Amino acid sequence: MKCKPLICLLLLLSNIFILNFALDLNAASPIPQLKIKVKNAPKELYYLDLLKNSPTGQSNISDIEKYNPHMLRLLHSYEKEEWFPAYAGGTNAPLWGDLVGVREIDRVTHTFEYFGLPFIYRIIIVTESGDVQVSRVMTRTAMPTQSSVTYDYKSGLFISTPIWFAYFVRFLVICMPALIIELIILKLFKFKLRSNWKPFLFMNLFTQLLLIITLGVTVNNVDRLINAYFILIPTIMAMFSIEMLIGVKFLQGRTPKIKVLYLFCANLISFSAEIIWFIPFTLKIITNM
């Protein structure tokens, strides 16, 4: 068969993708991280900490002498309301970070990470002149592990990314590369694009939109990355079946056997690339917007 070397090559690539995915699943879990981007931050020196609703824990500050003691006391000013500073006050598990952020052009970025990061928190900001500002209660989910929020110090409100923009990013980063991969494999199997572009575009756009919607719902409702894959993989299997049915019936110019081989190789490679590279990269982009 003329296509046999090509099929062997594509299957080899698929096995490499799957092996890479298996190794990633066995790797250590990502470290929980929360980035807080402060817009309109105070011009004077200020400290930012996370307030948690539990008093237990050991202080995460090892060099306390470098901090302003009056400002440290202000971080504890909400303890009567059962809110305790996580970094300055202490956590059961270690928490890495700093009370002073990194100033950029239009914002100040504060990063807190490791397993002491609270799931329910409030942001507290205290300035050198004695001002204290506390945000509303926020809930951090464990999926994605690395997340970020933007806080406007002037208004005291959180600035959120529009949902439609997050879905648009997913479309660009996941769908477009997958379409390109499957188009290349379509040409390698010597299908004529002129007579096959309609079924090719329909079946791929339909299944990719299904994946994007599932991903959007999954990210907001699961607490671990591995749990997300348990939901996404059955969805991808359903997408695989849908493309197989549509492709075998509507693709033209090749035998049914070649159609099945093309659809199997194209979907295995594109879906493996999505799971291993495109989806994690998309989550990283969205959580850093």
Distances in Å between the Cα of 242 and the Cα atoms of 207, 230, 247 are: 8, 19, 8
In this predicted model, what pLDDT tens digit does every residue of 152-174 receive, in sequence order? 999 999 886 677 777 888 888 88
Residue 146 lies in a domain: no
DSSP for residue 58: B
Report the alpha-carbon distance of residue 113 to residue 87 in Å, rounded: 10
Is residue 227 very low, low, confident or very high in pLDDT (cuts 50, 70, 90)? low
DSSP string, 81-110: GT-EEHHHH-BSS--B--SS-EE-SS-EEE
**76-82 contacts at long range (C-beta below 8 A, 24 or more positions apart):** 77/126, 77/132, 78/51, 78/122, 78/124, 78/134, 79/55, 82/53, 82/55
Q: What is the pTM of this model?
A: 0.61
Report the alpha-carbon distance of residue 152 to residue 253 in Å, rounded: 59
Domain with 44, as residue range(s), is 33-141
In this predicted model, what pLDDT tens digit does every residue of 1-17 receive, in sequence order? 455 555 555 555 555 55
Report the alpha-carbon distance of residue 59 to residue 40 in Å, rounded: 29
Residue 93 lies in a domain: yes
Rounded to 5 degrees, φ, ψ at 223 are -110, -5
DSSP for residue 118: -
- Asked if 131 and 56 sit in the same domain, the reply is yes
Give the count of domains, the chain: 2
Asked which of 88, 112, 141 is the last residue of a domain, the reply is 141
